[in-house]
Amino acid sequence: MKFGNLLIAGITTGSIYAMFAVCVSVWYRVSNILNLAVGDFAMVGALGVDNLYRVKGLPLPVAVVTTLVVVAVFAYVYDQVVLRIAQDGRRPIEGIVVTFFFTFALSFFIDGAAKVLFGTDVHAAPTLWSGPALTLGSLNFERAGLLVLACAIIIGGAFWLYIRFTLGGKALEASGENSTGARIVGIDTRQYRRLIFVGTAVIAAVFGIVESPITGFTYLSGATISLTGFLAAAYGGFRKPGRALVAGLFIGVLEAMLGGYVSTQYGDTVLYAILAAAILAWPRALGFESAVSG
Amino acid sequence: MNQFLAASSRAFQWSSAVASSRAARRAPRGGIPTVIVLVAGAIIVLNYGLLYTGSVFVLSACYAIVTAGMAVQIGFSQQIAFSQSVFFGVGAYGVAMLNTHYNISVLPAGVIMVVAAGLVALLLGSVVTRASGLALAVATLMLPLIAVGYVSGTGFLGGPVGAPLNGTLWPGSGSTTLIALGGGLIVVVLLAAVVFIASRILSSDIGLELFVLGVDERTAASLGVRTPRRKLELFVLGCVCAALGGVAYAGTQQFVPETVIDPTTELALLIMLFIGGRRSVIGAVIGALVIQYLQGASNWVSVNILIVEGLLLTVVLLVDPEGLSGIVATGIAWLRGKSALAVAGAELAAAGTPAGTADAGREAPDELAGLPLSSVGPAGALADGTLGISAVGISAVGDGRQAEGTAGARDTALLEVRGVFKEYGGLSVLHDVSLALPGRGLFALCGPNGAGKTTLLNVIGVSVAPSSGEIVFAGADITRRAPHERFYLGISRTFQAVHLIKGRTVLDNVAVACLASHTASIVTRIGRSRLDAARAKAARTLADLDMAHLADREVSSLTLEMQRMVELARALAPGPRLLLLDEPASGLSEEQRQRLATLLATLAERTCVLLVEHDLALVAQVSERIFVLSGGHLVFDGGPADFRASPVVNSLLVGS
Amino acid sequence: MTGDETAAPTAPAPAAAALTVRNLSVTYGNVVAVHGATFTVTEGDACAITGPNGNGKSSILMGVTGMVRRHGEVTIFGTPARNGDVRWAARHGLTLVPERRQLYPDLTTADNILLGCYTWTRSIGKARRSDSYTRAVDLFPELKPHLKQAAGTLSGGQQQMVAIARGLAAAPKILAVDEPCLGLAEAIAKRVYDVLAQIHADGTTLIVVEEAPRRALALCNRRVEVRNGMAGAA
C-alpha cells in the first residue's frame, strides 16, 4: 500500500499548504498585499511554544496561549503602525510590487528576532497527541498528521461557517470581491484588513505548533512554508481561496508522489519544473492574467 | 554648485530624462554615475584593498553588478523575474568548473560563461517572457527552487559543500597584493561598465519605451512598443549582468558555496535593489554596498542582520517607495530649490525643477481644492485659457507617414469594418457592424452608454479580436494584427479614461508616440539615443497646439482637460492616417468645445478622424457622416442633416 | 463661477430640506472633478442631476455620500454630514446606488441585497427579518427565482435591480441612484424607472444622475444641471 501511504502523507502536507494558501489569498482579497510573512508566524508559533514550555518551563496550555496572544498583538501593532502609514496615509503606496516588499521586510524582521530569541537549532513544539502511529490495514496514520488534518478541517470549517452564516462573513466576502461596492454599504475594508491579518497570523501560528513535531523548525523555516503557500495561492490567482485550497492539496499530493515514485533526491526539482510549465502553458486558465499589475 | 546638484540629482533620479536641463548637454549620458563608480571604486580598492573593508567592498561590487541590471529589468521596466540567483550561480559555478576541471584561467572562462549565460537566457527567456506580470514572477520563482535542488544533489558541482577555484580574476601571477588589488580593480571596471550601459539605456529613447512598458504593457503596445521583444531583451540583459556578477564573485572569492544559488541570494539581491531604489542604477549599486557593509560589519548589526534589514527596508519604503536614491534625489532637489532661490530667484527654480519632484505634486491637492478652477497649480493661467489651439500650426503636425496616405484618398476606403461581431462571455456587444471610412474627413460614432462604441474602437485600434468579421486598413487585413503593428500602419487613438504615463513630463508623454526606436535593439542604445529627435518632434506638436509652455510639467499635475489635450497631442504627434478619438470633448466647456471643433475640422482635411462623442450638437456640427450604435447594432448611418431629422436618433439619443 | 441655487420652483410651502450641498468640491489627485457645487434637495423631491458625461455628476454623489473625501458643506436632514463616512450618511438616511452597480459577483442575489442591511446591523437574523429587506425583495418579483443564484450571472437589467434593492435594504430616506440605465435596453430602462417612480411614491426622496435627461425628467420635479464640475439649478 505504498500509494495509500503516500496519498495520506501528501494530503497531510497538502492540507498545510492549502491552509497557508487560503491565508494568503483571503488577505490579498481584502488588502491587495501578498503576504510573504505567514510562514514566519508559523515558525514563531512552533519555536515560541517550544521555548516557553521546554526552556522556561511553563505548562503547555499556558505556553500555547501566551504564544498565540503575542503573535496576535504583534500582528495588530504591525498593522496599526506600518500598514496604516503605507496604505491609509496621505500618500498611499500602490502597486503589488512595493507593498509586497513590506511583508518581505516583515519576514526578515521576524526571522531575525526569532534567531535572537530561539537560537539557530532545530526545535519543535511538543507533540500534543503522542503515541504510536494508528494503523488501518496496511495504512499508517501518524498522530501528528491526523492532528494537522483535524486542525485544517476545524479551522477551515469554522471559516466556511463564518462566511456562510454571518453578516460579518458575507461583508468580508463582499470586501474581497468589490471593495468599492463594500464601502457603499458601509463596510470598513480597513477593519477587515486588520482582522484578517491578525487572524491569519494566529492561524498560521496554530499550524506551526501542530506541524512542527513532524518536520522540526529553525528560525529560517518560515520562508519555505510561506513560499509553498504563496505558490499554491498563485495557482488560485491569489483571489480565489477555494482554488488555492485545491491547489495546495494537489501540490502536497504531487510532491509526495514524485518523492515516492520518481526520485527522493530530485523530486522537488521535478515538482517545481511541472509547476512552472503549468503557469507558462495556461496563464489565463490559472488566473494569472487578471492579477497582472505593476 | 547648481550644476553639480543638477547633475547629481539626475544621477539619482531614475528619469534622467527629466527637464530639458542645460547641464544635460554638457555631461555625456550615463557619464556621471560611471565616473563616480570608477573613481570612488578605484580609491577604495587601492586604499583598503588588503584590509577587511576592501574585501567587503569588492564582494559588494560583485553583487552591485547584478543589482544594476535588476534596476533596468525589475525596477525601471517592472518585469519581475526571479532569475538572478540562478544566473549568478551559472556564472560562478561555470567559471569554477572551467577553471578546476578544464584548466582554463578565470578571465577567459568568465567570458565564455557570460556568453553562454546570454545564450541560455535567450532560450529560456523566449519561453518565460511570454508570460506577463505575476505569471512571469511566479514562473521564474521556480528557477531558484529547481536550481538549488539540482546543485545540492550533483557531486560534480561540489554538492552542498561548494566548488573551489585554482585561479583568480587577475590574469597572470604575482604577489598576493597585486592579485587582490588587481582583481578588485577589474571588478570595479566591470561594475562601471554595467552602470554605464544601464544608465545609457535608461536615458535613451528605448529607456522611455521601457518606462511605458513598466507602467502598462497594453498602453505601451498601443503606442508601438514591441513588448515581446523588449521583454526578452530585458530578461537577457538581467541574466547576463547576473552571470557577470557571478564570474566576478568566483574570481575574487576563489570559492563558490552552494548558497550562491539559494533562493536567499535572490532575496538578498531584491532587498539591495529596493533599499537602494528600484528604478535607479546608482541606487541599486548603493543598495548593494549598504547591505554588504551591514553584513560585513563585525558587531551587533551583522549578528542581527535580518532584523536590521527588515527594519531598514520597512522604514526606507515608508519614507519613499523609490528607496535611498529617491530620498537623496528629493533632498538634492530640495537643496537645489533653496540655492537656486538664493542665487537667481524663483525663475531658475521653476525652470529647473525636474518632473521627478512629484512630491510637490503630491502635496498639491489639499491646497488646490476649494480654490476656483481657474487658479489650479502654480502656472495658474492654464486652466481655462489653455485650449487656445492655433489651428494655423496644425498643418505642420502630420508629416512623415502621413504623406502617402493623402493622395486621392477620398475615393478608396482607408478603413473597412466588415460584418464584425463581438461577444464577451455570451453577451453580444457588437452585432454585424460594417462601415467604411475614406482617407480624409471627420466621422462620428454615437449611441447610448453601453452601445458598444468603445468596443468598436478597441476592435479597430487595439488588438481586441472580434468574434467574427474583419477589419481592413489601407487594403491590408489587420483583424489579428498586434497593437504595435497597427500603430506603425498609422492608427492612433485616445482613450475615454486618460492613459497618460504618470511620473513623466508632458513632453515625454508626447515623445513616446514619436519614437523611431521600435525596430532597434536595446544594445544599439548604448551608443546613441534618438530621444532628442523624438522630443523635438513632440515639442513641435505641442507648439502647434499652443501647449509648449506645458512641456516640462509632470502630467499628473495637470487638470483633466489638459490631460485630455496631452493625450490628443500624443495621438497627433506621429502623424497618423486614422485618428480614433474616444470622447475628446467630455469635460470641456462650451468655448473649449468650439476650439476643439475648429481643430478637428483642420485635422480632417488631411486625416481620417473617427470620433466617439456624446455631445450631439458638436457631432452634427463637425462631422460629415455619423454612425449610431445601439445595443451593438448599427442603427443609423448618414449625414448631419439626416441625423438631425432621423426619428431613430431622436428617440435613442435626444429623447423627444 | 459658482452655480447659484434658486428656491425649488414647485414647493410653495417650505418643506424640510433633506439634503443641502454648499460649495462642494471633489478632487482626484490634482484633477478637479467637482467644483463649488451648491444645491438643495427638499424632502419628497425627485431630483435629477443631469449633464454630459465626465462633467462630475457621479463625483457629486460620491462626495455627498462620503465615498470620496470632499470639501464644502453637506447636511443631511439638518445635520452636518461627516466627511468620507459612508456609514454615517447611510445611518442618517442617504444611500447610494452606484454607477455600474458595484455588486459582489460571486455572492448570491439574496446576499447582495442582504448586505445593504450592513449599514444598520451586524446581525444576519435582524437583517433577514427586517422590513427594509423584505420590502426590497418584494419590490422585484422578477428577482425571486434568482435569489440563490450568483449575482454575476444575472443579466444587466437584473443586476441593476439588485443594486437598487441593496440600496433599499439600507432603509434610506434619500436614495441616490447613479446612471441607473447604463447599458440597458429601452424596455428594461423603462422598468427601472417604473420602480424608481414607485419608490418615490412610497415616500423616499430620490436623486437620480442621468446623462440623457428625457427619462429622468418624466419622473423628477427638480433638476440640477452640471457643466464642468459646476452645478446649478435648471
Q: Tell me what the mean pLDDT of segment A93-116 comes to.
A: 86
What integer best gives the mean pLDDT of chain A?
Answer: 88
In this prediction, residues B78-104 reach a mean pLDDT of: 92
Q: Tell me the pLDDT band of B87, cut-offs 50, 70 and 90.
A: very high
Q: Which of A87-101, A225-239, C217-231 has the lowest mean pLDDT?
A: A87-101
Averaged over C102-113, what is the pLDDT?
A: 93
Cβ-Cβ contacts under 8 Å between A and C: the total is 68
Which of B124, B140, B142 would you mutate first to test chain A, the one with the most A CBs within 10 A? B142
3-state secondary structure A69-94: HHHHHHHHHHHHHHHHHHHHCCCCCC
CB environment B44-82: b (16+ within 10 A), e (fewer): bbeebbeeeebbbbbbbbbbbbbbbbbbbbbbbbbbbbb
Record: fold of B391-654:
Rossmann fold (3.40.50)
User: If pLDDT is split at 50, 70 and 90, which confidence band does B499 have?
Assistant: confident
Q: Kindly report the backbone phi and psi dihedral angles of residue B429, in degrees, each rounded to the nearest multiple of 5, phi listed first.
A: -100, -40
**Is 70 exceeded by the pLDDT of residue B371?**
no
Q: What is the pLDDT of residues B201-246, one digit of tens each?
A: 998 889 999 999 988 888 888 888 898 899 999 999 999 999 999 9
How do residues A177-221 score in pLDDT, each as one tens digit?
A: 898 899 999 998 888 999 999 999 999 999 999 999 888 899 988
**What is the arithmetic mean of pLDDT over B181-190?**
93
Q: Does B449 touch chain C (CB under 8 A)?
A: yes
Residues C179, C150: contact at Cβ < 8 Å? no
Cβ atoms of B17 and B30 within 8 Å: the answer is no
Confidence of residue B381 (pLDDT cuts 50, 70, 90): very low
* Interface contact A105-B131, CB threshold 8 A: no
- Is the CB of residue B435 less than 8 Å away from at least one CB of chain C? no
In which band, very low, low, confident or very high, does the pLDDT at B475 lie, cut at 50, 70 and 90?
confident
What is the three-class DSSP state of A138?
coil
For B294, list phi and psi in degrees, rounded to 5: -60, -40
Q: Which domain holds residue A91?
A: 16-221
Distance of CA B530 to the CA centre of its chain: 16
Query: Tens of pLDDT along B417-471?
Result: 888 888 876 677 888 889 888 888 999 998 876 678 888 888 888 767 888 888 8
CA B276 to chain centre: 19
- pLDDT category at A290 given cuts 50, 70, 90 is very low
In a domain, A257, yes or no: no
Which range, B332-341, B628-637, C16-25, has the best average confidence (pLDDT)? C16-25
pLDDT at residue B48 tops 80: yes
Would you state the pLDDT for residue C189?
Answer: 83
- Check residue C167 and give its pLDDT: 95
The answer to whether residue A276 is domain-embedded is: no
Answer whether residue C125 shows pLDDT above 90. Answer: yes
User: Residue C120: is its pLDDT beyond 80?
Assistant: yes
Q: How confident is the model at residue C132 (pLDDT cuts 50, 70, 90)?
A: very high
Q: Taking residues B370-377, what's their average pLDDT? A: 29
C interface mutation test: which of B373, B633, B656 has the most C CBs within 10 A? B373
Q: Which residues make beta-bridge pairs with C46?
A: C206
Task: Indicate if the pLDDT at residue B390 is higher than 80.
Answer: no
Q: Where on the phi/psi map is residue A103: left (φ > 0), alpha (ψ -120 to 50), or beta?
A: alpha
Task: Indicate the SS3 state at residue A271.
Answer: helix
The edge-to-edge listing of strands for the beta sheet with C79-80 is C31-42, C17-28, C71-76, C79-80
Sheet holding B413-424, edge to edge: B427-438, B413-424, B468-473, B476-477
CA atoms within 13 A on the CB side of A173: 25
Residues counted in chain C = 234
Among the partner residues A167, A174, A186, nearest to C104 by beta-carbon distance: A174
Give B-chain residues touching A289 at CB under 8 angstroms.
Answer: 132-133, 135
Which residues in chain A have Cβ-Cβ distances shorter than 8 Å to C106? 173, 177
**Is A285 within the bounds of a domain?**
no
Give the pLDDT confidence score for residue B379 in this predicted structure. Answer: 31
- State chain B's mean pLDDT as an integer: 80
The pLDDT score that the predictor gives to residue B633 is 85
Least confident range from A182-186, B406-410, C218-222: namely B406-410
Q: How high is the pLDDT of residue B411?
A: 54
In order, the DSSP letters of C105-152 are TTSBHHHHHHGGGGGT-S-HHHHHH-HHHHHHHHT-GGGGGGTTSBGG
Residue A231 included in any domain: no
- For range B329-352, the mean pLDDT: 61
Please determine, for residue B370, whether its predicted confidence score (pLDDT) is greater than 80.
no
Contact A268 B304 (CB under 8 A): no
**pLDDT-based confidence at residue B15 (cuts at 50, 70, 90):** very low
Decide if A281 touches C, using CB distance below 8 A.
Answer: no
**Pairing mode, if any, of strands B468-473 and B578-582?**
unpaired
Q: With DSSP H G I counted as helix, E B as strand and the rest as coil, what are the percentages for chain A, rounded to 5? A: 75, 5, 20
Q: Tell me, yes or no, whether A168 lies in a domain.
A: yes
Per-residue confidence (pLDDT) for residue C14, from 0 to 100: 55
Per-residue CA distances from C219 to B314, B488, C160, C163, C197 (Å): 55, 50, 18, 19, 6
Answer whether C105 sits within 8 Å of A178, measured CB to CB. Answer: yes
Q: What cell does B147 get? A: 536550481
Cβ-defined contact of C182 to B655 (cutoff 8 Å): no
Phi-psi region of B233 (alpha: psi -120 to 50; beta: other; left: phi over 0): alpha
Phi and psi angles of residue B558, each rounded to the nearest 5 degrees, phi first: -95, 160
Measured CA to CA, the distance from residue A194 to residue A175 in angstroms comes to: 13
Residue with the larger pLDDT of the pair C218 and C5: C218
C98 touches chain A (CB under 8 A): yes
Using CB atoms, pick whichever of B135, B146, B304 lies closest to residue A288: B135
What does the pLDDT look like over B565-596, one tens digit per residue?
Answer: 898 899 888 888 999 988 887 766 677 778 88
User: Of B37-41, B416-420, C160-164, where does mean pLDDT reach its minimum?
Assistant: B416-420
Per the CB < 8 Å rule, is C1 touching B560? no
Q: What are the pLDDT digits (tens) for B253-308?
A: 989 998 888 888 898 899 999 999 888 899 999 999 999 988 887 778 888 888 99
Give C58's contacts in chain B (Cβ within 8 Å).
none
Q: Could you tell me if A180 and C102 are in contact, meaning their C-beta atoms sit under 8 angstroms apart?
A: yes
Q: Which residues pair with C20 in a beta bridge?
A: C40, C75
Dmax (CA) of chain C: 51
Mean pLDDT, chain C, whole residue set: 85
Residue B416 phi, psi dihedral angles, 5° rounding = -125, 125
**Helix or strand or coil: residue B173?**
coil
Query: Could you give the strand order of the β-sheet that contains C205-210, starting from the edge strand earlier in sequence?
Result: C94-97, C174-178, C205-210, C46-50, C222-227, C230-233
In which residue are the cell numbers 527654480 written? B349
Domain total in chain A: 1
Q: How high is the ipTM of this complex?
A: 0.89
Residues contacting B574, CB < 8 A, separation 6+: B224, B400, B401, B487, B490, B492, B513, B514
For chain B, domain boundaries: 2-298+307-327, 391-654
Tens digits of per-residue pLDDT, C33-57?
A: 888 889 999 999 899 988 766 677 8
Half-sphere exposure of B358 (CA within 13 A, CB side): 20
- In chain A, which residue's Cα lies nearest the Cα of B128? A280
Least confident of A176-180, B516-520, B648-652, C194-198: B648-652
C30 vs B361, B588, B615: nearest CB: B361
Digit-coded pLDDT (tens) for B138-177: 888 888 888 888 888 787 888 888 888 888 888 877 788 8
CA-angle at B54, arms to B50 and B56, nearest 5°: 130
CB B609 within 8 A of CB B603: yes
Query: What is the spatial distance between Cα B469 and Cα B481, in angstroms, rounded to a whole number?
Result: 14
% of chain A with per-residue pLDDT over 90? 48
Residue B71 has pLDDT above 90, yes or no: yes
Cβ separation B132–A289 shorter than 8 A: yes
Q: Is residue A235 part of a domain?
A: no
Per-residue confidence (pLDDT) for residue B22, from 0 to 100: 38
pLDDT (tens digit, 9 = 90+) per residue, A134-155?
888 888 888 888 999 999 999 9
